[in-house]
Structure 1
Amino acid sequence: MPRKGDRIRGNSPEIIQAARELRQRLTPAEVRLWNALKNRQINGFRFRCQHPVQGFVVDFYCPACCLVIEVDGSVHDSRGEYDTARTEKLETFGYRVLRFGNEEVMENLDKVVERIVEGLGFGGIG
């Protein structure tokens, strides 16, 4: 019989703990987007916040569509190669990744949500 923690396959206890800690320290842009995503507000789809996926902690994840959403702040300016490699790795596992900048989320949330709705049409298994 599966244990409660077995639903997050492919993740170490350290990754799961990191996700828990990150949920407690969301950036203002992540909080703003989370307030738009939580409670099935977007077409009834459920999103998870700071969720472990294949050894990574992603900002937001929709299991029904295998959709990963990342909100990138200035720290990502110097991590372009890492972020690209991470996105490519997630895509090889069948996830679709959408990236938004902090400014985009803070200044144009409606457009961000519109792009997420488009991304939900991707499909896949969750």
Structure 2
Amino acid sequence: MPKTYHINGVVIKANYLKLDYNPLLKERAKALRKTRNLPEVLFWMRVNKAQFYDLDFDRQKIIGNYIVDFYCKALGLVVEIDGSSHNGREEKDSEREEWLQNHGCRVIRFTTTLILEHLDQVMEELEEFILENYS
């Protein structure tokens, strides 16, 4: 029986995806986890160790040939935090998001500014996204 999560009285069932990954990206993902990107650290502090509705998130997770900022395996949920490094990369980000969605993942994006200035709002939007897409 799949694990269930309870978010505001709504039962969410786990839906684990079988996703391949490129082992050649392991060192890059490890290096990214060691960087101290403030918006990512702030978000991580809210979801680390299943603090967000008992959901487990991974940082800098390899999925296929991509490294995503955060991944919740139980839901197949990718959380991307977009800062200035994404400027001019909209086409590549769009291709990446399409690939992830074609492999069963759902993707939600937040800007670094929103995380830095309105982290509580980010967490509320993440909760709403999960309720809308997984219940």
Shorter-chain TM range is: 0.7 to 0.9
CA displacement at 1:9 relative to structure 2? 5.2
Identify unmatched segments of 5+ residues in structure 2.
Answer: 1-17
Q: What corresponds to 2:134 in structure 1? A: 123
Offset from partner CA, 1:47-88 (integer Å, 9 cap, x none):
001111122110000001100000011111110111011101
Partner in structure 2 of residue 108 of structure 1: 118
1:88–1:26: structure 2 CA closer, same or farther, 3 Å change rule?
Answer: farther
TM-score by length of 2: 0.80
Kept after mapping to 2: 8 A contact 1:67/1:119:
no
Matched, 1:52 2:62: yes
The whole-number CA distance in structure 1 between the counterparts of 2:117 and 2:86 is: 18
Q: Distance in 2 between matches of 1:113 and 1:83?
A: 22
Could you say which residue in structure 1 is the equivalent of 2:8? none
For residues 11-30 of structure 1, the aligned pairs below 5 Å read 11-30=21-40
Partner of 1:31: 41
TM-score, normalised to structure 1, is 0.86
User: How many residues are paired up?
Assistant: 117
Q: Return 5+ residue gaps in structure 1 as ranges.
A: 1-7
1:92-112 C-alpha deviation (Å, 9 max, x unpaired): 001000011100000010111
What is the percentage of aligned positions where both structures have the same residue?
34
Q: 16-25 or 88-97, which moves further after superposition? A: 16-25
| C-alpha distance in 2 between matches for 1:123 and 1:62 | 12
Alignment map for 1:23-102 (pairs within 5 Å): 23-102=33-112
Q: Aligned residue for 1:3?
A: none
- 8 Å CA contact 2:22–2:64 kept in 1: the answer is no
- Contact 2:21/2:65 (CA < 8 Å) preserved in 1? yes
In the TM superposition, what are the counterparts of 1:1-12 in structure 2 within 5 Å? 10-12=20-22
Residue 7 of structure 2 is matched in structure 1 by: none
Cα distance between partner residues in 2 of 1:118 and 1:9: 25
